[in-house]
Amino acid sequence: MTLETDYLVIGAGASGLAFADELVRRSDAHVTLVDRRDAPGGHWNDVYPFVRLHQPASFYGVESIELDRGDLEASGPNAGYMSLSEGPEIVAYFHRVMREKLLPTGRVRFVPMSEAEPGEAPGPVTVRHRLSGERTTITVRRKLVDASRFTNAVPATHRPAFDIAPGVVCVPPNDLPRRVGGFEHHVVLGAGKTAIDAVCWLLAQGAPAASITWVVPRDSWFFNRAKVQPTMAHFDSTFTSAAEQREAMAAATSVRDLGHRMEACGAWLRVDPSIEPTMFHFATVSEGELALLRRVGRTVRLGRVTAIEPGRLRLHRGDVEVPAGSLFVDCTASALSYKPPVPVFAGARLTIQMVRIPQPTFSAALTAFLETQPGSDDEKNACMRPVVMTDTVDDYPRSQLTDLANRHAASRIPAVRDWLSRSRLEGFTHLLADIRPEDAARMAIVQRIRVASQAAFENLQRLAAMPRGA
């Protein structure tokens, strides 16, 4: 079988959908999305049932459909903060995007259950159906779009990197609600967002704190949810925090010092103030969630797990005993992907990557917008340098340097500036458009951010050049 399309998008996850949504809104192009899954939404189709966004829903998803319910979290550790969508809502949202926005244009085709085998662009792409094995050749008239570069590894689809002895019950968090109840002890493995969700879920369901062991291979800095609330009602605290963070970046004498300055201004949080975090994955938590995490009966900090045996955990830096018959919850999937950056715009190929961190869907939508604008690849790439995802806190200065450089370059292109001022997914800039020039207090906050950004950019270069661990 052969098909034709203007843009062939590999991956119908959040990135591919945010790209397609913006492209079909702004052009007459025909788009084909291919995914090896049976439905749009990427990894959200495999998430554990109690997952929630960790950023406000108001700036997640695709540009044309709001995800936010428009209310505040009514209860739980995030009460009073902007709403965080639940997993099933996010999956339903992405299915709706396909069904109600993309397909009705008559210019979008979705090819599910199919593995793309791209060759050199431009040129035909072979797509193999995973069930029938049938191969389809798709002729790409304009561009091949790789929206699969950051395909997430989630607990349900990854294979644990440790040995599990016979008789040990180790489940992904997807199975936790179903399996829990018959175990007196729970051991949560991992220290990322998924593990935090699992610990908080257990405590929220009434598991005694003493019945939880939390294995924390590395401690992490987290964003403080209180400072990531982009609404006019929270304007002063959110934008003052942005200024304080840039000032911390400008004044820090080392990466370690930067972490402490971020903590001192309330922008970053850590579970245990006596431990120096080394990890940084841009996870966002609230003080309420931290309070729950601090209640955990026992925290094991002996590095990564190498094996689980009945009554025993083996880790890189030693072994510990755990109650026999514990339920182990595997939250060790890396989720993030660390592929080396490539140019976003490269002739007949577009590779969607994060150009604003941590905003994958905004980045994809901006890529689509720029694709509809005149200009050479070099001109577009000047404000679209890929920001490499951070793993450690040492990676943070470099990520901010690229992020700031992109912001600066984008602000010099009038059409992009205009798009940013209205973009829902950018989250913050559109709030600035509502400030009246006579509002001296808020204008002062904005000016403070501008001044600090320049100084931050200069000092971040020094911090990025320092030896790791400095």
Ligand X SMILES: Cc1cc2nc3c(=O)[nH]c(=O)nc-3n(C[C@H](O)[C@H](O)[C@H](O)COP(=O)(O)OP(=O)(O)OC[C@H]3O[C@@H](n4cnc5c(N)ncnc54)[C@H](O)[C@@H]3O)c2cc1C
Interface residues toward ligand X, by CB under 6 A: 10-11, 13-16, 34-37, 42-43, 47, 51, 53-55, 60, 115-116, 147-148, 150-152, 154, 193-194, 335, 358-360
The smaller minimum CB distance to ligand X, of residues 54 and 186, is found at: 54
- Least separation in angstroms between residue 172's CB and ligand X is 12
- Least separation in angstroms between residue 222's CB and ligand X is 13
The smaller minimum CB distance to ligand X, of residues 85 and 240, is found at: 85
Maximum CA extent, the chain: 70
- Least separation in angstroms between residue 198's CB and ligand X is 11
The smaller minimum CB distance to ligand X, of residues 193 and 349, is found at: 193
- Least separation in angstroms between residue 335's CB and ligand X is 4
The smaller minimum CB distance to ligand X, of residues 15 and 245, is found at: 15
- Least separation in angstroms between residue 358's CB and ligand X is 6
- Tell me 284's DSSP state: E
Which residues contact residue 290 at a Cβ distance below 8 angstroms, ignoring those fewer than 6 apart? 222, 269, 271
| Long-range contacts (CB closer than 8 Å, 24 or more residues apart) made by 397-401 | 397/249, 397/255, 397/258, 397/460, 397/463, 397/464, 398/460, 398/464, 399/357, 400/249, 400/357, 400/456, 400/460, 401/457, 401/460, 401/461, 401/464
The smaller minimum CB distance to ligand X, of residues 16 and 230, is found at: 16
Closest C-alpha among 152, 66, 59 to residue 359: 59
331 in Cβ contact with 192 (< 8 Å): yes
Which residues contact residue 435 at a Cβ distance below 8 angstroms, ignoring those fewer than 6 apart? 235, 442, 443, 446
The smaller minimum CB distance to ligand X, of residues 109 and 298, is found at: 109
- Least separation in angstroms between residue 350's CB and ligand X is 14
- Least separation in angstroms between residue 408's CB and ligand X is 22
260 burial via Cβ count (<10 Å: 0-12, 13-18, 19+): middle
The smaller minimum CB distance to ligand X, of residues 245 and 351, is found at: 351
- Tell me 361's DSSP state: H
- Least separation in angstroms between residue 34's CB and ligand X is 5
Give me the helix-helix angle, 414-422 and 396-411, nearest 10°: 110
Closest C-alpha among 376, 323, 324, 356 to residue 427: 356
Write the DSSP string, 433-448: TT--TT-HHHHHHHHH
The smaller minimum CB distance to ligand X, of residues 112 and 325, is found at: 112
What distance in Å separates the CA atoms of residue 136 and residue 70, rounded to the nearest whole number? Answer: 43
What distance in Å separates the CA atoms of residue 387 and residue 407, rounded to the nearest whole number? Answer: 12
